[in-house]
Amino acid sequence: MVLIAGSVHGQTLPPVRILVGAPAGGSTDTLARALASEMGRQLSRTVIVENRPGAGGNIAADAVAKAAPDGNTLLMSFTSHAINASLYPGLPFDPVKDFTPLTCVATSPSMLVAHPSVPARDVRELIALAKARPGQLNFAIGSVGSSLHLAGDAFKMQSGVFIVNIPYRGTAPAIQDVLAGQVELMFAAVGNAQAQVRAGKLKALGVTSATRLAAFPDVPAISEVLPGYESSAWFGLFAPGRMDTALAKKMSDAARKAVASPEVRRRLETEGYIPVGNSPEEFSRFVQSEITRWAKVVKFSGAKPE
């Protein structure tokens, strides 16, 4: 909680609540808390983070969609906001109309990693290996329907290979089995894989960002082999729909200044995120394009909600 209170005409304002549809300690929660501290200073108000995990983020999203558009309730969402539009039939809210996009806070590219025993040295060799051994290689999947799951299915869709998905309940057990050589391959967030890659315990075959990462200049972007391939997780701040334009601008400006602050940028970059802080208009266009893009991958994958 940020212990900063604001007042209007002598009356204390209620706290701004940022709802997070994921458990405490996860990526979305960590980003929300980093943002809340600085955003509270920008608004001169108390800003708190409230975790409402479940249903791939839909429980928190539904609460914000139904909240008053008064600036007191916000949503820190993630890639699933776009994925769920096609993954979940009959959502109780419209992921576009029922929200006011404020800004994309950060993106998180991932790595295609392999156990060192896999003979492929890069993406091109992996594709050749997978085509020579259809159905004999496996992807560890931390969560069905997640951005990392669909990054793998987008890879299979574009490359035409057949690699079997092995689902786990969480990233930690999935990556442990790849480290142990029980499963050959995995798409993992850079922050979760970089230590093992640097230690030689995992082999980085490619990154999912559009271009190579400064931290790993020798690891090619998958797009160098599969043109147009890109799959970075993203984290964004939304308000309820129908929010007054001036109020939306005020909340967006506070969030964007928070993202741009040296302290928040340093924290995000240290943990493997790429700070963004774009305009509401840019974020709105991005979300709509993501809904369209992921719908094709969800259909290809045949994924169903857990």
Domain boundary, last residue among 165, 198, 224: 224
Residue-wise pLDDT tens digits, 118-144: 999 999 999 999 999 999 999 999 888
CA 182 distance to own-chain centroid: 26
Averaged pLDDT, 17-39: 91
Structural contact between residues 108 and 189, judged by C-beta atoms closer than 8 angstroms: yes
For residues 24 and 101, state if they share a domain: yes
| 115 closest CA partner among 171, 175, 45 | 175
Domain membership of residue 306 (yes or no) is no
In this predicted structure, what is the pLDDT of residue 3? 42
Averaged pLDDT, 108-118: 95
For residues 250 and 213, state if they share a domain: no
For residue 115 the two structure tokens come to: 């156990």
Domain boundary, last residue among 203, 224, 245: 224
In this predicted structure, what is the pLDDT of residue 98? 98
In a 10 Å sphere around its CB, with 0-12 CB exposed, 13-18 middle and 19+ buried, how is residue 20 labelled?
Answer: buried
For residues 130 and 271, state if they share a domain: no
In this predicted structure, what is the pLDDT of residue 272? 77
Query: Cα(66)–Cα(246) distance, rounded to whole angstroms?
Result: 20
For residues 149 and 249, state if they share a domain: no
Domain of residue 262, residue span: 7-107+233-301
On the question of pLDDT at 8 being above 50, the answer is no
In this prediction, residue 7 has a pLDDT band, given cuts at 50, 70 and 90, of very low
CATH code, domain with 29: 3.40.190.150
Domain boundary, last residue among 224, 243, 269: 224
Domain membership of residue 284 (yes or no) is yes
For residues 220 and 244, state if they share a domain: no
In this predicted structure, what is the pLDDT of residue 171? 84
**Residue 241 carries which side chain, given as an amino acid letter?**
G
For residues 206 and 219, state if they share a domain: yes
| 236 closest CA partner among 215, 214, 251 | 251
Domain membership of residue 2 (yes or no) is no
CATH code, domain with 154: 3.40.190.10
pTM of the model: 0.84
3-state secondary structure of 12: strand
Domain membership of residue 48 (yes or no) is yes
In this predicted structure, what is the pLDDT of residue 11? 53
The per-residue pLDDT of the chain, averaged, comes to 92
More confident residue, 229 or 190: 229
For residues 137 and 46, state if they share a domain: no
Residue-wise pLDDT tens digits, 221-231: 999 999 999 99
3-state secondary structure of 56: helix
Domain membership of residue 148 (yes or no) is yes
In this predicted structure, what is the pLDDT of residue 22? 87
For residues 210 and 124, state if they share a domain: yes
Number of domains comprising the chain: 2
Structural contact between residues 114 and 44, judged by C-beta atoms closer than 8 angstroms: no
Query: Cα(239)–Cα(248) distance, rounded to whole angstroms?
Result: 8
In the chain, the N- to C-terminal Cα span, in Å, equals: 32
On the question of pLDDT at 9 being above 50, the answer is no
Domain membership of residue 20 (yes or no) is yes
In this prediction, residue 235 has a pLDDT band, given cuts at 50, 70 and 90, of very high
In this prediction, residue 4 has a pLDDT band, given cuts at 50, 70 and 90, of very low
3-state secondary structure of 207: strand
Residue-wise pLDDT tens digits, 243-267: 999 999 999 999 999 999 999 999 8
Structural contact between residues 6 and 45, judged by C-beta atoms closer than 8 angstroms: yes
For residues 83 and 67, state if they share a domain: yes
